[in-house]
Structure 1
Amino acid sequence: MKRKLWILALVLVLASLAACGKDGAEILPLAEPDEILPLAVTLSVTEKVAIAEKVKMEAIVSLGEEKVEDADEVVFEVWEEGKKDDSVMIESINEKAGLYTAETTFDHDGLFHIQVHVTARSMHTMPKKEVTVGHGAQQEEEHKEDHEHGTTEGFSLHFMKPEQVKATEELKLVTHLQMDGHPLEKARVRYEIWNDANPDKRDWLDAEEKVAGEYTATQTFAEAGTFKVQIHVEDEHDLHEHEEFTVEVK
């Protein structure tokens, strides 16, 4: 008898719940997945300085309202206009509260670029600013690199130039692309590699995009020497860019 009463009570409860749904009672929706917030980086530098004057570089890293204090990497890259291949990488100091800083100086007049590379929470971003040192550069030199590469406005390419490359060892090539401060996704990226001692023999590698805006490929150099790596970028909107770098293989 008790078992029959228990079954009857269960049926009545289920019937009551079904009736509530039919009568228009509020039914809570399934929880939406958390929104994926973009990684935001505010780069601050002094845009006009004197020769030998200390330049403080600051990057504030945030994710929505949260200040990111545990970024995987924050590195400042500095180079003179037209000399990207000779850029210098400067590690940052984590000042906490999402602030990362570093300092640099310049020993001659010219137009320089400062770009901060930030990797955090499986995302990468790399805002850039210009710094005029002393009297700056001649106007025809200021845009020499842009004219050589036909750089599209808003386009940014950063090749993680490898160091201490050894022959016969597999090397991972990594390039980050951005357009207007956001990762450039679904681009066609190819690495063209050759040795000046044998310029007719060239390797072409199709890069793979596993992370938004990050394009990777692997290469094994059969011998030591000075190699050129030219990165070709295309997309469905008629973007066509390329930049060339030098890699020393020991």
Structure 2
Amino acid sequence: MKKLFIISFITLLTIVACSNQTESDPEIEEEVKGIHVDFQLPNDADTGETVGLTATVTYGEDELVTDAEEVSFEYWNVEDEENTTTIESTNNEDGTYTAEVVFENAGTYEIYAHTTAKDMHTMPKKTITIQGEENTEEEHSASNSNEEHSHQEDFMIHLEEHEKVNKDTKIDWTAHLKMGEEPYQNARVRYEIIPENSDQHIWLDTEEIEAGTYSSTHTFAETGQYKVVVHVNDDSGLHEHKEYNFEVIE
């Protein structure tokens, strides 16, 4: 009888200890894997010179993505931002996607590497300076596969913006989407959070909490300047994004 009592007492202590440990464990945020694009571009080139564009796409830590849904390069002269050109890349089936472009006019150009893979979208941007004589001919790709990049003019993204947020505090990020005057429903919306001077991007999945309203939360462990990009796409071919800047403080 005494032996049975001791065994029962030890069992009870074990149950209580496990219960206390479970209650004391902090909530752990599940890390969401994202895609990363290493966009290689020379700093400068001459007019008439063929410029190589290379995007290496990885998923998670270092898994090469050989089947990206889209990798295209959109470029424009900074003096004429409304006139953009998009060229498709060649998939080399080794995680790299390449294209070539010849700039006929001198100036400073910005280039997006639009990348969609694993139902995610990112678009790193680089700048190149073209030196040489002015030319009235338009730039062209070496493969002659130019196409104009267009967006839905009546589509709107509004993020409930945070200019400053506190470190170690859970922050709600909520975006409202509209097409014309109607809430835009059933979209895939993700937030890409980019710390300044870092290649480590944070990806947040959202939940549509009401018609056209998409929300997620995140707690920042480090102070500094950040950028958040709201990425929106769906099965209809919609592909939109909008960027915001904010700061994390103590």
Bigger helix fraction? 1
TM-score by length of 1: 0.49
TM-score by length of 2: 0.49
Computing the radius of gyration over CA atoms, which structure comes out larger, 1 or 2?
A: 1
